[in-house]
Chains A and B, each alone.
Chain A
């Protein structure tokens, strides 16, 4: 099966895996002794946050490849990964806020370094779109956006490791040096959800890239015909 034809297969697998993820997160995983039922938000919130980091990281990687070897398609790929990153970043902030309200009684805590650093990372990449749409289309725009995307990648490890360096511990640390701080069933459920969300991001990315390429081809065709 060719790479182009594999998209429906990936989309179907994602739909099945997402359904399975909801079942294991809500029905199979045992209830947390400390947080109760609200801990079930963890099974979608953490994979969504990790996927957001991954999308921003891949956007930066494509940007690096663009600066290194060139190619207009890498600009589109970098832009699309960053777009996915902002979608999953928005979901991270919303699901995180809901979990915070359920667990801590507040929607947001400015005292938590991880929350604030994630917000900074998210806003940094939101500004990427303002930059992109303020420059005329072409190779110059691609290079400027690639440099900007690369700067943002430095915020990813800072945001990810902030909880381990922070003096306040309002945000829980589930994955420590001793491994995941949860039961085997909980960890298995988490892995299913993580796989489902990562695959969802990949399918969304592939779909958007195909759409953007068709758009570009139609624009070229219109120029030839008119």
Chain B
């Protein structure tokens, strides 16, 4: 590998890590959205029962 390719590899690794982190956070947000919707449905159900 040339010196330039090593530089590209190093910067690419940093970029991949940041993107991976963003993907994990996006997945977590999606899970939180789904849990919030479940809880809202549960709260409405309770309100209906009461």
On A, residues with C-beta under 8 Å from B are 22, 26, 36-38, 40-41, 44-45, 48, 87, 90-91, 94-95, 98-99, 101-102, 200, 204, 207-208, 211, 214-215, 218, 221-222, 225-226
Q: How many A-B residue pairs have CB under 8 A?
A: 65
Give 6 nearest A-B pairs by CB, closest first.
A102-B6, A38-B3, A98-B10, A41-B10, A37-B3, A95-B10
Q: How far is the CA of A14 from the CA of B18 in the complex (A)?
A: 12
**Contact among B13, B17, B21, B36 with A218 in the assembled complex (CB-CB below 8 Å):** B36
| Residue of B7, B25, B29, B32 with most chain A CB atoms under a 10 A cut-off | B7
A20 → chain B closest CB, angstroms? 14
| Residue of A26, A94, A99 with most chain B CB atoms under a 10 A cut-off | A94
**Contact among B4, B13, B18 with A98 in the assembled complex (CB-CB below 8 Å):** B13
Contact B21 A40 (CB under 8 A): no
Number of interface residues of B (CB under 8 A): 23
Contact A214 B25 (CB under 8 A): no
Contact A204 B21 (CB under 8 A): yes
